[in-house]
């Protein structure tokens, strides 16, 4: 074999080796990334955001979270979850994308009182974080979501220093709540406690106008009326009704053990949300719940 022939053979072998390398598939290491189509690859590691917080405001839900890492935006996902706030095991659908660490899910309020689950992911173009993506639930709409009775006097009676505590799922415009001088009274025929009555004296009647609501479901010993004070707290999400002096009735009424349910006032000028001025529980349909209950008695 001549020197020229040897050189040609070596060059031919190198060419075949180069072609073989080019034809072989290339690989990249994925770390916490969703797969994508189009044979595109990245070694960027996307770190999920943290501390997702949801807050109902009017008929919207505001989401905030702490920033993730190595992305250029965030994907917001959600799903309706009925009466459960447990978001484990749900299947999410895409809602929106954003480049900031907050998002307002507008007109997310029906059925009021039900829960909506949210999840946020860090994204980079078509990739998204797949580990430790935070989730949170929001009770949607403007609703009363809990009621509690605290004894401050004689157990088993409604009497001075007893408290009735109502919490809403978002801040309330306090100017639309009970006014100073509104009374609390007990109507025995229906077993109803009227909160924030605009009637200031005399016997208690179920037809009285109330600025806060009515509690029913149990038994009451007798018809009575009390002065009361109304104190807002918890960023105007909680109102504490403190029973004052009895101004009508022969004695303080006994209160029987039962499931006592709050029905908020139906007066559309009262109990409005601080954001959007929506009246509480305007649409309590489709499985929602604006009517919290308690088994505690004062």
Element (H, E) at 294: strand 293-294
3-state secondary structure 115-153: EEEEEEEEEECCEECCCCCCEEEEECCCCEEEEEEECCC
Model confidence pLDDT, tens digit, residues 166-182: 999 999 999 999 999 99
Q: What is the pLDDT of residue 285?
A: 58
pTM above 0.75? yes
Counting other chains too, the contacts that 33-36 makes at CB distance below 8 Å and 24 or more residues apart are 33/127, 33/128, 33/129, 33/130, 34/127, 34/128, 34/130, 36/126, 36/127
Helix (H, G, I), strand (E, B) or coil at 161: coil
The domain segmentation of the chain, as residue ranges, is 50-139, 144-294
* Percentage of the chain lying above the pLDDT 90 cut: 79
Helix or strand or coil: residue 242?
A: strand
Mean pLDDT, the chain, rounded, equals 87
Confidence of residue 42 (pLDDT cuts 50, 70, 90): low
Of 134, 141, 98, nearest in space to 117 by CA: 134
CATH fold of 50-139 reads: Immunoglobulin-like (2.60.40)
* pLDDT of amino acid 13: 43
Looking at the chain, the whole-number percentage of residues with pLDDT higher than 70 is 84
CA distances from 30 to 22, 44, 73, 238 (A): 22, 8, 19, 48
> Would you say 165 and 233 are in contact if contact means Cβ atoms under 8 Å apart?
no
Q: Residue 205 to residues 65, 122, 137, 155, 162: CA-CA distances in angstroms?
A: 49, 58, 40, 25, 21
- Token representation of residue 100: 């900031």
Query: Cβ of 291: how many Cβ atoms within 10 Å?
Result: 17
């Amino acid at each position: 074999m001549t020197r020229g022939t040897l050189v040609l053979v070596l060059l031919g072998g190198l060419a075949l080796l180069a072609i073989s390398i080019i034809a072989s598939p290339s690989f990249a290491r994925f770390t916490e990334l969703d797969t994508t189509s189009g044979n595109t690859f990245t070694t960027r590691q996307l770190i999920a955001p943290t501390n997702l917080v949801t807050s109902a405001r009017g008929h919207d839900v505001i989401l905030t979270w702490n920033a993730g890492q190595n992305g250029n935006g965030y994907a917001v996902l959600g799903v309706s979850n009925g009466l459960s706030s447990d978001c484990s095991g749900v299947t999410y659908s895409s809602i929106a994308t954003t480049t900031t660490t907050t998002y307002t899910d507008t007109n997310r309020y029906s059925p009021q009182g039900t829960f909506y689950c949210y999840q946020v992911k860090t994204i980079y173009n078509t990739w998204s974080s797949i580990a430790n993506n935070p989730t949170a639930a929001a009770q949607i709409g403007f609703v009363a979501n809990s009621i509690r009775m605290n004894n401050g006097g004689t157990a088993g009676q409604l009497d001075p220093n007893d408290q009735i505590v109502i919490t809403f799922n978002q801040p309330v415009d306090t100017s639309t709540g009970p006014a100073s001088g509104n009374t609390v009274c007990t109507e025995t025929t229906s077993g109803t406690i009227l909160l924030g009555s605009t009637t200031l004296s005399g016997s208690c009647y179920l037809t009285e106008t109330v600025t806060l609501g009515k509690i029913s479901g149990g038994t009451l010993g007798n018809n009575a009326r009390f002065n009361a004070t109304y104190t807002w707290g918890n960023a105007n999400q909680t109102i504490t009704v403190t029973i004052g002096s009895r101004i009508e009735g022969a004695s303080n009424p006994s209160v029987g053990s039962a499931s006592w349910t709050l029905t908020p006032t139906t007066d559309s000028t009262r109990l409005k949300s601080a954001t959007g001025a929506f009246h509480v529980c305007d649409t309590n349909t489709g499985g929602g719940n604006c009517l919290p209950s308690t088994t505690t008695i004062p």
